[in-house]
């Protein structure tokens, strides 16, 4: 819009006569529409050979897929008519369109009209065809939507069976690790020695996709913080990130490290959006997205998980305090209750306009 205003301002400052300016604008519009029609004709020449496979044998389907949107033809007709009305010479218009067609075909032949990487990213995001988008939906529909509604019940059963362990109901969630590097450990104890396996929570058995008695279960871990205090929680990695990592290692996928990072961010954003809109999964999960430091830290992962557990613990305390107002001597400081992850630490949109 800024560039549009600047161009319009420059045109006004040039002080050109109105009729020649309008004629030039009509011609330029006609040239652009001619280019789009020629590009569609080139695509149609290829799609004719795939009419049966892609368009169910329909020529009109092939035609409509090669010429979206449908206003290129009418726009060319309007611009051509305006040019003739202003110039009064149809022969000149024909010559100009031939020259414009020649230029447009040369541009197509030289490959100068190929979309940039940014345009490709925008198209894939808008059409919901991104790898990360599909992985997020698959992870939700095929796994999280099944197990999350049952997490609190499993944690409650474990708490009743182990009354000696401190119970913080706000931490009775599935904590899902989302490393943006997509580097996932199969054994969390090897990733961080402060994370120790405790037991398996109550498993869920369902018939799923032809598999009888398919088992879903979670592992409970004890995590030691800097003060040697133990925190218990169900935690696991977001397994689809293994797919992104494997794609970046496979030559067939041609997935670069930068593309993998962008897809990991998009996976997190999409999964967060899906879960936020899911009523049955409300308050049953916590996404822990993080980017590992460049220099290896022995207990980075345990500190990251404990940070989130503390936030949940503070949330529970604040709820209890609201129902039972404390005396001033026992009230928590407001800064402690407002600990929030910085916006700059979260995965950001791929586009700066927030799309």
pLDDT in tens, 216-248: 989 999 999 888 888 888 999 999 999 888 888
Q: What is the mean pLDDT of residues 69-75?
A: 67
Per-residue pLDDT, 258:
80
Q: Kindly give, in sequence order, each residue whose CB lies less than 8 Å from that of residue 318, ignoring residues fewer than 6 positions away.
A: 332, 337
Q: What is the mean pLDDT of residues 166-177?
A: 81
Identify the bridge partners of residue 214 per DSSP, sorted by sequence position. 206
Q: What is the mean pLDDT of residues 302-329?
A: 66
N- to C-terminal Cα distance for the chain? 17
* Residue 74 in this model has a pLDDT that exceeds 60: yes
**Angle (deg, nearest 10), helices 72-87 and 90-109:** 140
CA distance 222 to 302: 10
CA distance 196 to 126: 42
Per-residue pLDDT, 86:
61
**133 or 319: which carries more pLDDT confidence?**
133
pLDDT band for 93, please (50, 70, 90 cuts).
Answer: low
* Residue 328 in this model has a pLDDT that exceeds 70: no
Only one residue has tokens 């490393």, namely 179
CA distance 197 to 220: 6
Q: Rounding to the nearest 10 degrees, give the CA dihedral for residues 342, 184, 128, 3.
A: 50
| β strands within the chain, DSSP E | 174-179, 195-200, 204-208, 211-216, 219-224, 230-237, 285-290
pTM of whole model > 0.75? Answer: no
CA distance 197 to 179: 20
Task: Give the rounded percent of residues in the chain with a pLDDT score beyond 90.
Answer: 21
Mean pLDDT of the chain: 78
**94 or 262: which carries more pLDDT confidence?**
262
Nearest of 149, 158, 127, 185 to residue 281 by alpha carbon: 149
Tell me the DSSP string of 113-148: TPPPHHHHHHHHHHTT--HHHHHHHHHIIIIIHHHG
Per-residue pLDDT, 76:
67
Per-residue pLDDT, 278:
92
Range name among 43-47, 81-85, 126-130, 327-331 with the lowest pLDDT average: 327-331
Tell me the DSSP string of 313-349: HHHHHHHHHHHSPPPTTTPPPHHHHT----GGGSPPP
* Residue 334 in this model has a pLDDT that exceeds 50: no
What 8-state DSSP symbol labels residue 351? Answer: S
* Residue 354 in this model has a pLDDT that exceeds 60: no
Domain 123-345 in this protein, CATH class:
alpha beta
- SS3 label, residue 198: strand
What pLDDT digit, counting tens, does each position of 123-152 carry?
Answer: 666 655 578 889 999 999 999 999 999 988
Please state the domain extents for the chain: 12-114, 123-345
Per-residue pLDDT, 78:
75
Identify the bridge partners of residue 95 per DSSP, sorted by sequence position. none
**Alpha-carbon distance values, 352 to 54, 116, 348 (Å):** 35, 16, 9
Q: Rounding to the nearest 10 degrees, give the CA dihedral for residues 155, 338, 225, 324.
A: -50
| Ranges 16-30, 297-311, 314-328, most confident | 297-311
Q: Kindly give, in sequence order, each residue whose CB lies less than 8 Å from that of residue 147, ignoring residues fewer than 6 positions away.
A: 174, 204, 216, 218
* Residue 332 in this model has a pLDDT that exceeds 60: no
What pLDDT digit, counting tens, does each position of 3-32 carry?
Answer: 888 988 887 888 778 777 777 777 777 777
CA distance 349 to 110: 33
pLDDT band for 307, please (50, 70, 90 cuts).
Answer: very high
């Amino acid at each position: 819009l800024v560039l549009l205003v600047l161009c319009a301002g420059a045109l006004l400052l040039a002080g050109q006569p109105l009729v020649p300016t309008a004629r030039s604008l009509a011609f330029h519009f006609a040239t652009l529409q001619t280019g789009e029609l020629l590009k569609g004709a080139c695509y149609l020449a290829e799609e004719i050979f795939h009419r049966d496979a892609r368009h169910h044998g329909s020529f009109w389907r092939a035609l409509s897929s090669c010429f979206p949107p449908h206003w290129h033809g009418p726009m060319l007709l309007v611009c051509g008519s305006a040019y003739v009305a202003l110039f009064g010479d149809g022969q000149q218009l024909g010559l100009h369109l031939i020259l414009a067609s020649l230029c447009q075909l040369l541009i197509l032949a030289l490959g100068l009209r190929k979309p940039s990487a940014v345009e490709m990213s925008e198209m894939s995001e808008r059409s919901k065809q991104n790898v990360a988008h599909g992985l997020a939906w698959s992870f939700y529909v095929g796994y999280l939507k099944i197990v999350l509604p049952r997490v609190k019940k499993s944690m409650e059963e474990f708490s009743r069976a182990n009354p000696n362990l401190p119970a913080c109901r706000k931490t009775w969630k599935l904590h899902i690790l989302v490393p943006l590097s997509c580097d996932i450990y199969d054994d969390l104890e090897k990733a961080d020695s402060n994370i120790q396996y405790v037991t398996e929570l109550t498993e869920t058995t369902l018939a799923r996709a032809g598999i009888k008695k398919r088992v879903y279960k979670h592992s409970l871990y004890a995590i030691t913080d800097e003060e040697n205090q133990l925190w218990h929680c169900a935690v696991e990695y977001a397994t689809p990130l293994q797919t992104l990592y494997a794609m970046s290692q496979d030559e067939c996928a041609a997935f670069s490290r930068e593309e993998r990072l962008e897809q990991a961010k998009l996976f997190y954003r999409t999964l967060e959006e899906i879960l936020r809109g899911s009523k049955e999964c409300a308050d049953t999960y916590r996404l822990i997205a993080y980017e590992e430091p460049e220099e290896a830290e022995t207990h980075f992962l345990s500190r990251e998980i404990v940070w989130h557990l503390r936030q949940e613990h503070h949330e529970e305390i604040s709820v209890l305090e609201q129902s039972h107002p404390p005396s001033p001597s026992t009230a928590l400081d407001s800064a402690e209750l407002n600990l929030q992850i910085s916006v700059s630490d979260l995965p950001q949109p791929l586009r700066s306009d927030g799309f």
